[in-house]
Structure 1
Amino acid sequence: MAHFAQSALSTERNPTRVAVAVSGGSDSMAVLHLMAAVAAHEGFALWAVTVDHALRPESAAEAAQVAQICAGLGVPHAVLRWQHGAVAGNLMEAARKARYGLMADWAAGQGISHILLGHTADDQAETFLMGLARGAGIDGLVGMRRHWDEGAVRFLRPFLVVSRADLRGYLTRQGVAWIEDPSNDNDRFTRVKARRALRALKPLGITIDRLNGVIVNLLEAQGAVQAATADAAKRLCRSSEAGEVIFDHKLWRHEGGEVQRRVLIAALRWISGAGYAPRGSGVFRAMMAIAQGRDTTLSGCRIKLSDAVFRVMREPRAVAGLVAPPGALWDGRWQVEGPFEPGQELRALGADGLRQCKDWKATGHSRDSLLVSPAVWYDGTLIAAPIAGYGADFSARIVAPFTDFILSH
């Protein structure tokens, strides 16, 4: 089974530092032991990381148990604790975001380029059923992502074609125990319900292997649709240096509904930095507004229409009060460079700032897009607004161009 991890890493650029996310459950414990052998053979440094979500009294002791196991393997281990109060909304989603954010920040600080996750074919099948329950389209039925990047750190799931039973069989043969998480039997969680549904469906021939075969077929279909979407985006729209996406309204009307939906979602995600597409009902509402010639908002973005074009840009209230220090990304996508002085900070230009940019019309950018562009401020004084042409020594750019984004999503 180690060859799955070797194969996944062979497509990367010779990583020298790799980590395994280890909860102590069977899947991650198997990956830890398999990767310890792979690292010794391939010659890269291996780390392990455990996120203590602090949601169960036992979590700290379980993290300590993982640390002991890692010490026995000679693998450096870190425990990252999620500092939180009462969690509003979807607890599992909040924990997921916190988990990956903590791991990405930790790995970047250690010079670790890749983090391996222990998700299996069982997880894929469960995710498929959860998508069915939501009435998802292709994108919601293709299972978990094989890999993705958060900053400079790449997350990999090399064992998505391996069953949980196979990984547990490997641990049993090696005489390795694992921790059973009681939440895996809690019917309150949708994934647990999907796991039980899988057992009920098995007599019908709907097995984990069969569902993973369906996922492979859907992935091929998804690839064809994504290619068509990328081609359509070249015809339909363009991005501006001010960070908006400008659609040709006439060409839009002649495009198929699915392509319209996908290109619009790509624009919304690129501008908002959202990790996932907006809810289907919200996208439908936005597309209806466009069809009826009405301005609307969605996912922290504003959609403004005219006869010739419609523009998707950042919504002013989404960046109101958003502050970043020099050198940091502002609004998750803007990199501002220049001769910063102590005390200066990045904030939205806003109406007060734009009034000071007397030549902003010469930039060719819309007023709406400039209002939400990054500017350098010091104690209420505007120092520079690069996109609005104010402050020649400063520059601003979006780190991931829209064309690159739409091809990779």
Structure 2
Amino acid sequence: MPGAEDTFRIFDRQELAQLFSCLTRFEKVVLAVSGGADSMALMRLVSDWVQGDDKAPAVFVLSVDHGLRPEAGLEARAVCEAARGLGFEAHVLTWRPGAISGAIQEKARCARYDLMTGWCRQNGVGALATAHHLEDQAETFLMRLGRGSGLAGLGAMKAVSEWKGICVVRPLLGIGRERLAGLLRFHGVPWHDDPSNTDERFERVRVRKLAPLLDKAGIGKQALALSARRLARANEALDEVAGEVLAECTTVFRAGYCLVERARFLRAPGEIAIRIAGELAGWAGGWQTEPRLSRIEALADWMVNGTGRARTLAGAKIVRRKNCFVFGREAGRAAVLEPGADERRIVWDNRFVIELAGRAEKVEPFGLVATRGERRRPQQMPDFAARALPFVSFANGKTEVPFIDPPGLLQVQLVRLPRGCCRAQ
């Protein structure tokens, strides 16, 4: 809970406009608010901003009742009450995971993002704003340094990233934790502290407790965050070059696979080849998992120097042909989805956005249900890519597989293209 009032540097109109300029391109924005000091401060700052800026988007607040603590539901409802007091529409989203063994924080984090971005998609919201701040950035940098991360990891958290087709925006990365808490004390805004934030079983907590020692040694959070920003800048430059080379050597197909011209790929410098391999494996696999850099390096090495016909990585299958490599989804890895009765727009396997003209009862991988010869795939389409297409069963008894069957009750498009590519065929 907050302590006694203290002074802090006020957020004036100019600073608010600068902080939240990243949100003005969206018509609707969701704030992720847990009820902790950081997210409550974000909500207060956005409230101050929207009241004086006619370019501000419509703002909604979501709070997740994760059920991991008895008081979680009460805290989420308190967040919504505070949000409505500021004039925001607010909703509680519920997650009931059952028994969890290992990686509790990571699984809960993924569940929160899935719930909130799912709500965004269903309600036409383009961005989710979080309250990650300066200390979070410094801690992330140290954690990734300890794992031997490359440039992408050491760049820490991006100001703008993506989660399953929704922009995730972090406007407070340059603001310190104490200044945010000072804002709440100044306005008399209560918050709750999550006990897990002091639980040393979690890596971030252990790293956080090193901060006083690092400060004493002259390694402050500002310097760490500055290094992260500079490394991120270098990483973006290499990503841009990799995207240009990727676009030159890659042909992307709307059915969710791509061909990489072998000769052009082999001319790429080693770091660029690694980035292309990682980007295409992540794209083809639907970004279900974030592969370790060492595994991406091994894939790129196999593409350049290795033997053998095929490899898999992060849910993607990579097949070597004479003049090219084929990247596609590893068949059978996609989950079965049962859309709600009123759902007409769904994201399946984080690869396809499916627009439904009728009620769909089930969406599953084509390869799990189809008998060979029952449907004929286009000759140029790899068999494993065809088997990873969505097989949609409608309530009226009809079934449809996009890119194999004639267009009927559904329209399908890719969630996104690989970095550097501007179209699919």
Bin of the TM-score, shorter chain as denominator length: 0.7 to 0.9
C-alpha contact 1:46 1:75 (8 A) present in aligned 2 = yes
Tell me the TM-score normalised to structure 1 length: 0.86
TM-superposed CA distance for 1:92, in Å, is 1.0
1:10 equivalent to 2:28? Answer no
| Equivalent residue number for residue 61 of structure 1 | 74
Give me the whole-angstrom Cα distance separating, in 2, the residues matched to 1:223 and 1:134.
21
Please state if 1:333 is matched with 2:346: no
Deviation at 1:128, TM superposition (A): 0.4
Seen in structure 2, the aligned counterparts of structure 1 residues 276 and 217 have a Cα distance that, compared at 3 Å, is farther
Q: Which residue of 2 aligns with 1:178?
A: 191
Residue 24 (structure 1) aligned with residue 35 (structure 2): yes
1:26-59 deviations in Å (ceiling 9; x for gaps): 2112222222222222355443322122112332
C-alpha distance in 2 between matches for 1:103 and 1:204 = 40
Structure of greater relative contact order (alpha carbons < 8 Å, 6+ residues apart): 2
- Give the C-alpha shift of residue 99 in structure 1: 0.9
Q: Secondary structure at the match of 2:226?
A: helix
Could you give the per-residue CA deviations for residues 353-409 of structure 1, whole angstroms, max 9, x where no partner exists? 451345732xx2233322323345579x98544423x436577643245355768xx
The aligned residue for residue 300 of structure 1 is 315
Match of 1:369 among 381, 385, 391: 385
Matching of residues 64-79 of structure 1 within 5 Å? 64-79=77-92
Aligned counterparts of 1:70 and 1:359: Cα–Cα separation in 2: 52
In the TM superposition, what is the alpha-carbon distance from 1:181 to its structure 2 partner? 2.1
2:7 is aligned to none
Q: Which residue of 1 aligns with 2:48?
A: 37
Q: Is the 8 A contact 2:336 2:364 kept in 1?
A: yes
1:274 aligns with 2:290: no
Within the alignment, does 1:95 sit opposite 2:113 as a pair? no
Question: Aligned equivalents of 2:211 and 2:257: distance in 1?
Answer: 44
Letter in 1 for 2:307: G
Q: CA offsets, 1:284-340, max 9 Å, x none? A: 343344322222111112111123222111111213756768753433323456876
Deviates more, 1:77-86 or 1:284-293: 284-293
Q: Partners of 1:201 and 1:162 in 2: how far apart?
A: 19
* Contact kept in structure 2, 1:326 and 1:346, CA below 8 Å: no
Task: State the shift of 1:13 in Å.
Answer: 4.8
The one of 352, 355, 366 aligned to 1:349:
366
Native 8 Å contact 2:240 2:420 kept in 1:
no
Alpha-carbon spacing, 1:298–1:115, altered in 2? closer, same or farther (3 Å): closer
Task: Please state which structure has a larger fraction of its residues in helix.
Answer: 1
Structure 2 residue identity aligned to 1:82: W
Pair 1:264–1:80, CA change in 2 (3 A)? same
Uncovered stretches (5+) of structure 2, i.e. residues with no partner: 1-10
Match of 1:52 in 2: 65
C-alpha distance in 1 between matches for 2:126 and 2:370: 42
Cα distance between partner residues in 2 of 1:405 and 1:345: 33
CA contact (8 A) 2:29 2:58 kept: yes
Of 122, 136, 140, which residue of structure 1 is paired with 2:149?
136
Amino acid aligned to 1:117: T
Q: CA 1:252 to 1:118, structure 2 compared with 1: closer, same or farther past 3 Å?
A: same
AA partner of residue 297 (structure 2): F
Post-superposition Cα deviations, 1:230-267, rounded to whole Å, max 9, x if no partner, equal 11102332223432221222333332221111111111
Contact 1:52 1:81 in 2 (8 A): yes
* Change in 2 beyond 3 A, CA 1:14/1:337: closer
Tell me: CA distance 1:258–1:8, structure 2 relative to 1, closer, same or farther (3 Å): same
For the Cα contact (< 8 Å) 2:365–2:391, is it kept in 1? yes
Aligned residues of 1:24 and 1:179 also touching (Cα < 8 A)? yes
Give the aligned CA root-mean-square deviation in angstroms.
3.1
Letter in 1 for 2:385: S
* Cα distance in 1 between the residues matched to 2:335 and 2:43: 44
> Equivalent residue of 2:128, what SS?
strand
Aligned CA distance change for structure 1 residues 180 and 374 (closer, same or farther; 3 Å): closer
Match of 1:199 in 2: 212
Letter in 2 for 1:360: P
Structure 2: distance between partners of 1:169 and 1:239 = 50
Q: CA deviation at 1:123?
A: 0.6
TM-score (norm 2): 0.83
8 Å CA contact 1:387–1:395 kept in 2: the answer is no
The one-letter code of the counterpart of 2:294 is S
Matched, 1:168 2:181: yes
CA distance in 1, matches of 2:349, 2:313: 16
Tell me whether 1:317 sits opposite 2:332 in the alignment: yes
Q: Distance in 2 between matches of 1:113 and 1:143?
A: 23
Q: Residue 8 of structure 2 aligns with which residue?
A: none
Q: Is the 8 A contact 1:187 1:193 kept in 2?
A: yes
Cα drift, residue 14 of structure 1? 5.4
Cα deviation code 1:199-223 (max 9, x no counterpart): 2111221101111111221122112
Q: Which amino acid aligns with 1:23?
A: S
Which structure 1 residue ranges, 5 or more long, are not aligned?
none
Task: Quote the sequence identity (%).
Answer: 28
Aligned residues: 402
Give distance in 2, aligned partners of 1:316 and 1:198. Answer: 46
